[in-house]
Structure 1
């Protein structure tokens, strides 16, 4: 009889204890879910203040010496041309010369390779201009056909546009996105007859730069447009507030 009473008491205590723990856990769970999660946006348009323009030129000859001599002459012409356009010497950078041996393949009637005939040396060198005079270099890139007309085998790449104050811009945008998120949270709380408590968590989203008025897709890892002079930057900030 005593043993049975003892078992009843143990079971009762266990039920009471488990009920208390369950009730406490349930209350804590509700407290943890009493939050507002909002995302704020920081967005700004800006104009690039740095331009990089690249080009390359080539020469081919049966001997390496002749090819180098021709390439040197072209390089001097390019220097003179750029100087005449107002480009400072320290803004012009020439790369190392790349050269290849070129061959012409011949085949027999069955399509089997017969031999490779050496046709000469092909030399290529690149030139790069980096400047803060964006409009001037942009116009120069459009006039590069003048080098071709002078007898130089010149290939021009599209200019690339950058912004040197990106770090400062990003800080301002984060502040703007945070303020936007906070305003949204306050509005939601007021409309729900609640008040905001402490900030529990904040996360910064992806920083994106695309061309203005473009149809570029936003990338999950962030995009960084270099093709457009006029750009749009965006960033998001997610805030989680406790609700009182």
Structure 2
């Protein structure tokens, strides 16, 4: 009886030793596997042409008679509107802002820069106009021909146009897919060259979008770059993938 008890105890000790060994082996394998990964970065980039343009300008008149100045700027407004429409721009795309009125003074100073005389010059009335349109070519041509207004005696100051892309959301999805496929391809090549295969995806990290002018040499920024002054642009995105190695 005592011998049977000893054999049973011995068997239990052996079984416990086997279980412990299996647990240790499993832990070692898990640690080994989790520490053997391949991390790669894929790039997605695409060139595109902006499909929305925003162009603005300002015109002004100055006169000591406020009513006369207002009448003159209203006349200029009508001429500018007709000019833009004649160039093919839709009237619904043209927005005139409210008129701004400021009093202008001529200041005269003495040799010690103390104000000697302040003379009223007139009322300076200014107004801005903004065109937001998908007629990119048409608006660009109107901007290049703006001297036609200046030749009519209108003081028109044109700002640089800004360019946007209305299908940016779809473009981003396309770029993410491209960058992901690129990263996956890189990971497979690295694994095969080392005699391994990639396993499950452990982690995926999306970079920031960078939109720059084509062939502009613009620098990327940590928070992302969004160029609005180039019609033709290039968008970039990176995707970092980390795979377990089988």
| TM-score category, normalised to shorter length | 0.7 to 0.9
Aligned match of 1:182: 184
Distance 1:89 1:134 in 2: 15
Map 1:102-113 onto structure 2 (within 5 A): 102-113=104-115
Distance 2:116 2:31 in 1: 80
Compute the displacement of 1:121 (Å): 1.4
SS in 1 for 2:121: strand
SS in 2 for 1:146: helix
SS in 1 for 2:202: strand
What TM-score results when the alignment is normalised by the length of structure 1? 0.86
1:34-90 Cα offsets, whole Å, 9 max, x none, are 111100000111111111111110111113222211111100111111122122210
Compute the displacement of 1:116 (Å): 2.5
Aligned match of 2:170: 168
Aligned match of 2:61: 59
Aligned match of 2:138: 136
> Root-mean-square deviation (CA), in Å?
2.1
CA contact (8 A) 2:56 2:128 kept: yes
1:107-147 Cα offsets, whole Å, 9 max, x none, are 12332222322221111111111221211111110000100
Compute the displacement of 1:220 (Å): 1.4
Aligned match of 1:10: none
SS in 1 for 2:156: strand
- Which of 27, 43, 46 aligns to 2:45? It is 43
Distance 1:26 1:100 in 2: 79
Q: Structure 1: state its 5+ residue gaps.
A: 1-19
Q: Structure 2: state its 5+ residue gaps.
A: 1-20
Q: Structure 1 pair 29/117, CA: closer, same or farther in 2 (3 Å)?
A: farther
